[in-house]
Structure 1
Amino acid sequence: MGEFLAQHREQILVACGQHLALVLPCLAAAALLGVGIAALVHHHPVAHATSDTLAALAMTVPSFAVLGALLVLTGGGRASGVAAVTFFAVLPILRHGLLGLRGIPTVLTDSAKGLGMGRVRVLTTVQLPLAWPVILAGIRVSARLCTGIAALVAYTVGSGLGGLVFAGLARGQGDDAVGLVLTGVVGALLLVAVLDLALVLLGRLTIPRGLRG
């Protein structure tokens, strides 16, 4: 295995970079969409319940089914991969955003309003900071999820660590085939660990000690 890694070092590094280039923008877009939708609907019980239910149901849809539908709609390529990864990444962030915002005691928002704050200022200075630990937990879930989904969408994108897995499977048997598959799988797991550690450190920097669980 060590010899295989040495021989394919550049290919592996390129695949890792391609994987991150797909995951990170999708995760950032999903965070903006998920938190934005949660901020819009959490005041309204019906909209809140509907959004939470739809997000929960959408998470049960097989990723290959979503990818197949997007292939038909977009014609394949990177667009379908980005859409699939972003779709699944939004769902945990939306659910955690709703949970975090709804969990803030009403007395705190009422006090802020009593001080003359408008709805937007209450949201940005009171609600989102207090909900941030829960939202960040959702982002961590999304990071793990979309890293795995990004490996699957290599079927259409043809790059990233998933590309190594599919390349190995296409070769059938042999040391190179096994090496490619193992490298793709282990590499994706390592990326998950690295992203999760980065988000934990982000939490340490952005969450006040009194709000840490």
Structure 2
Amino acid sequence: MQLWDYVQGHAGTLTFLTYQHASLAFQSVLLGTVIAVLIAVLVYRLSFVSALTLTSSRVALTIPSLALLALLIIPFGLGVVPSFIMLAFFATMPVIGNAIVGLRSVPPAVIEAARGIGLPRWRILLSVELPIAWPVILTGIRVSTQMIIGIAAIVAYVLGPGLGSLIFSGLSRLGGANALEMALTGTILIVLIALVFDGLLVLLGRATISKGLQ
């Protein structure tokens, strides 16, 4: 009951923070996906380079997000910029691996058939390889999105936007008025954002993946 009273009494603030959190996560994943696919397109034909890129992307995920965020404060200060850079960096990593694996898994016979009808290399990439690799890439995007929505909470440490400020304010005031409600509300809203985003990505997959690949 107290939780619901808190939500009703702070609906405007909660809506704004939820929008900030969702927007930051969306933009970070979008940029990360573009960068990841571009990198994958550049390296997937080169066995050694693609293997090195795959390994590097996996190792990069072991970097403590809070440590990276702290390092970014030095050149960029507090606020949105270091938060966005850190999130976009981590958003890129899962998608790179899936994009490389997806592009490398396209059957050679399909590529040869496309060449046989006279398609240039860039047309084969755009109309054959990327569409076939898309289900694997989309899986990477879903993983990246869920991860980033959770990680985005820690940007409150550098005065970044989103629901993290609500969670950490509540945790720092445990025992005080509305402290538990603040932390719980922030956590629940982050989970809801993650569920909504994943549902939207599932719908995107149904709309963009050809029936033969589903």
Aligned to 2:30: 28
Aligned to 1:170: 172
Aligned to 2:105: 103
Aligned to 2:55: 53
State the Cα distance separating 1:171 from its structure 2 match: 2.2
Aligned to 1:184: 186
- Distance in 2, matches of 1:186 and 1:57, equals 30
Give the secondary structure class of the aligned counterpart of 1:76.
Answer: coil
- Distance in 2, matches of 1:73 and 1:119, equals 41
28-37 or 65-74, which deviates more: 65-74
1:206 counterpart = 2:203: no
Q: What do the CA deviations read for 1:35-71 (whole angstroms, capped 9, x no partner)?
A: 1110110011111011101001001111111111111
- Distance in 2, matches of 1:154 and 1:127, equals 40
Q: 2:155 aligns with which of 147, 153, 156?
A: 153
Gaps of 5+ in 2: none
Q: What do the CA deviations read for 1:157-182 (whole angstroms, capped 9, x no partner)?
A: 34311111122123232341101111
Q: 1:122 aligns with which of 124, 131, 134?
A: 124
Gaps of 5+ in 1: none
**Matched AA of 2:50:** H
- Distance in 1, matches of 2:102 and 2:47, equals 14
State the Cα distance separating 1:210 from its structure 2 match: 1.6
Aligned to 1:193: 195
Give the secondary structure class of the aligned counterpart of 2:175.
Answer: coil
Aligned to 2:92: 90
How high is the sequence identity, in percent, across the aligned residues?
39
How many residues align? The count is 212
32-41 or 61-70, which deviates more: 61-70
- Distance in 1, matches of 2:61 and 2:196, equals 24
- Distance in 2, matches of 1:139 and 1:147, equals 12
Aligned to 2:45: 43
65-74 or 188-197, which deviates more: 65-74
**TM-score, length-scaled by structure 2:** 0.95
**Matched AA of 2:116:** G
* Aligned CA-pair RMSD: 1.1
Give the secondary structure class of the aligned counterpart of 1:50.
Answer: helix
State the Cα distance separating 1:13 from its structure 2 match: 0.5
Q: What do the CA deviations read for 1:101-160 (whole angstroms, capped 9, x no partner)?
A: 011111111221222212111100000000000000000001101101111112113431
**Matched AA of 1:105:** P
- Distance in 1, matches of 2:138 and 2:76, equals 31
Give the 5 Å matches for 1:122-141.
122-141=124-143
- Runs of 4+ aligned structure 1 residues displaced above 6 Å come to none
- Distance in 2, matches of 1:118 and 1:45, equals 22
**Matched AA of 2:101:** L
